Homo-oligomer: A and B are copies of this chain.
Amino acid sequence: MNKAREFDQSVVADLRALLGDRVSVAAAVREHHGKDESYFPYALPDAVVFPESTEEVRDVVMICRRHRVPMIPFGVGTSLEGHILAVNGGVSIDLSRMNRIVAVHESDLDAVVQAGVTRKQLNEHIKHTGLFFPVDPGADATLGGMAATRASGTNAVRYGTMRENVLSLKVVLADGRVITTSRRPRKSAAGYDLTRLFVGSEGTLGIITEVTVRLYPVQEAMSAAVCAFDTVDGCTNTVIETIQSGVPIARCDIVCEKTIAAINRYKKTDYRVAPTVFFEFHGSSASVVEQAQAVQAIARENGGMDFQWATRPEERTQLWDARHNAYFAVLQTRPGSRAVSTDVCVPISRLAECVRESMEDVKSYVVPVPLLGHIGDGNFHLVFLIDPANADELALAKKLNKRLVERAIRMEGTCTGEHGIGLGKQESLRAELGDDVIGVMRDIKRLFDPDNLMNPGKVVPAP
User: A residues engaging B (CB < 8 A)?
Assistant: 105-110, 149-152, 156-157, 160-161, 163-164, 173, 177-194, 196-197, 199-201, 205, 216-220, 240, 243-246, 248, 283-284, 286-287, 290-291, 343, 345-349, 377-379, 409, 412-421, 425, 429, 432-434, 436-437, 439-441, 443-444, 447, 459-460
Contacts and interface: CB of A to CB of B under 8 A. Distances in A.
Contact of A284 (B184, B290, B437): B290
Given A190-B416, A191-B460, A217-B244, 6 more contacts: A107-B349, A163-B193, A189-B418, A189-B421, A191-B421, A286-B286
Given A163-B193, A347-B110, A185 B219 contact: no
Contacts of A287: 283-284, 286-287, 290
- In the complex this chain forms, how many copies of it are found? 2
A458 to B, nearest CB: 10
B286 A187 contact: no
A432 B183 contact: yes
A367 to B, nearest CB: 27
Given A194-B441, A290-B287, A412-B183, A345 B188 contact: yes
Contact of A377 (B182, B187, B459): B187
Nearest to A162: B189
Given A183-B432, A432-B183, A447-B443, A149 B189 contact: yes
A429 B190 contact: yes
A379 to B, nearest CB: 6
A133 to B, nearest CB: 14
B187 A459 contact: no
A280 B5 CA distance: 66
Contact of A109 (B244, B425, B447, B459): B244
Nearest to A376: B186
A333 B163 CA distance: 42
A183 B350 CA distance: 13
7 contacts: A105-B349, A163-B196, A183-B413, A189-B200, A190-B415, A192-B441, A217-B245
Contacts of A200: 189, 191-193
A194 B437 contact: yes
A110 to B, nearest CB: 7
A252 to B, nearest CB: 13
A220 B294 CA distance: 12
A151 B189 CA distance: 8
A417 B186 CA distance: 9
A193 B185 CA distance: 21
B108 A349 contact: yes
Nearest to A414: B188
Nearest to A151: B189
B290 A185 contact: no
Nearest to A347: B108
B185 A417 contact: yes
A182 B290 contact: no
B191 A217 contact: no
Contacts of A290: 284, 286-287
